[in-house]
Amino acid sequence: MSATSAQRTNLFNLAKPGMEQFFVGLGEKRFRAQQILKWLYHQQVDRFEDMTDVGKSLRVKLDELAELKLPQLIHEQIAADGTMKWVLGLDGGNAIETVYIPEADRGTLCVSSQIGCALNCTFCSTATQGFNRNLTTAEIIGQVWVAAKRIGSVHRDNRLSERRITNVVMMGMGEPLLNFDAVTDAMDLMRDDFGFGLANRRVTLSTAGLVPGIDALSTRCDVSLAVSLHAPTDELRDTLVPLNKKYPIAELLAACQRYQARRPRSTITFEYTLMKGINDHPEHARKLIKLLRKVPSKLNLIPFNPFPGTQYERSTPEAIEAFKRIVMSAGLIATVRRTRGDDIDAACGQLVGQVLDRTRRSREHKAKLEARANAA
């Protein structure tokens, strides 16, 4: 008798060690793990019957005991600049968002780690949707799998130059370090030669500043680290990133220094979203210089992406350029992230919030907007 779907093992949930254990448990040799991984990630096959060098008896056994379950593409937007954004459907009527940003020398995929987010950063579109649950490893690596297949299909259909995923950033919906095991297993698959084979430095985890998670990551994965700083003082960061009340800036920077000590070849990037009149004054830049002098790093200045109902505005180009000029004059390495996909709901979490809106906080947020409009 075949196992039910709930009893079957989704092989997309297994990094290489788990895959080896699975096949040993079936009485098979360990090399079967590499064989199946190559079919899943090199050939992008998602049916056992298409794995032609796997014996028929093993394929039958896999059909009974395992499954290959991926997120389902339910909505796609393609911007004029080539940015691609997808809403992917999951169990229980939930959905997540994944974004691909093509550039001349790279193709970066922004991957989600949770359905919604519980950290409630005040300038984040995802925060308006509340938190539902953590994603599984299969749902995280599945975003890379679906995106890679879709990117190839779209560019073949449109006869455009070949695009591929060269970089992955855990910077989509959710706080990755609050879903530690599933995220690190997925990052293993991104970097494994039998997975997507990305170099360590081309996989980046972005955190709002979960200090224990940064310490745990430094002993678990050799990946690049990005920290969402967004303010040079605790007073301002407490407002923008409420997690700062638990892990203030001094503790966060100390954790970053420990990360660098344990992973000296890894890169740390501080992300700083520039919002008009909030954190973009020259005095903010000067305070930021004092903070980051002791932490070798790069500074990524991000023009704010507005979304419906937000109280914040994007800083002017003049203010952004002045901010960059001040920090670079002090010797910091700073770049301004070019805004991408403005014509396709650019803010992270915005598209999924429009396509599938099921959380309590999102409904409350809409009610507040309607009340504000009625009172005007």
Write out the two tokens for 64: 């009974």
Do 93 and 359 touch, CB atoms closer than 8 A? Answer: no
Pairing of strands 84-89, 72-78: antiparallel
Exposure class string for 54-91: b at 16+ Cβ within 10 A, else e? beeebbeebeeebbbbbbeeebebbbeebbbbbbbbbe
Instruction: Determine the Cα–Cα distance for residues 220 and 348; give it in Å rounded to an integer.
Output: 27
Instruction: Determine the Cα–Cα distance for residues 281 and 33; give it in Å rounded to an integer.
Output: 54
Helix (H, G, I), strand (E, B) or coil at 309: coil
**Residue whose entry in the numeric block shows the structure tokens 């310490």:** 215
Do 320 and 301 touch, CB atoms closer than 8 A? Answer: yes
Helix, strand, coil percentages for the chain (3-state, nearest 5): 45, 20, 40
Instruction: Determine the Cα–Cα distance for residues 8 and 136; give it in Å rounded to an integer.
Output: 15
From 20, 67, 97, 271, active-site residue: 97
Instruction: Determine the Cα–Cα distance for residues 222 and 140; give it in Å rounded to an integer.
Output: 18
Dihedral over alpha carbons 360, 361, 363, 366 (to 10 degrees):
180
From 117, 121, 256, 348, active-site residue: 348
Write out the two tokens for 194: 């039998």
Instruction: Determine the Cα–Cα distance for residues 60 and 194; give it in Å rounded to an integer.
Output: 23
Do 114 and 173 touch, CB atoms closer than 8 A? Answer: yes
Could you tell me the CA-to-CA distances from 174 to 55, 81, 206, 328, 347 in Å, in that order?
A: 41, 26, 10, 31, 14
97 is catalytic: yes
348 is catalytic: yes
Closest CA to 84 of 96, 94, 72, 97: 97
Instruction: Determine the Cα–Cα distance for residues 34 and 27; give it in Å rounded to an integer.
Output: 16
Residues recognised as catalytic = 97, 348
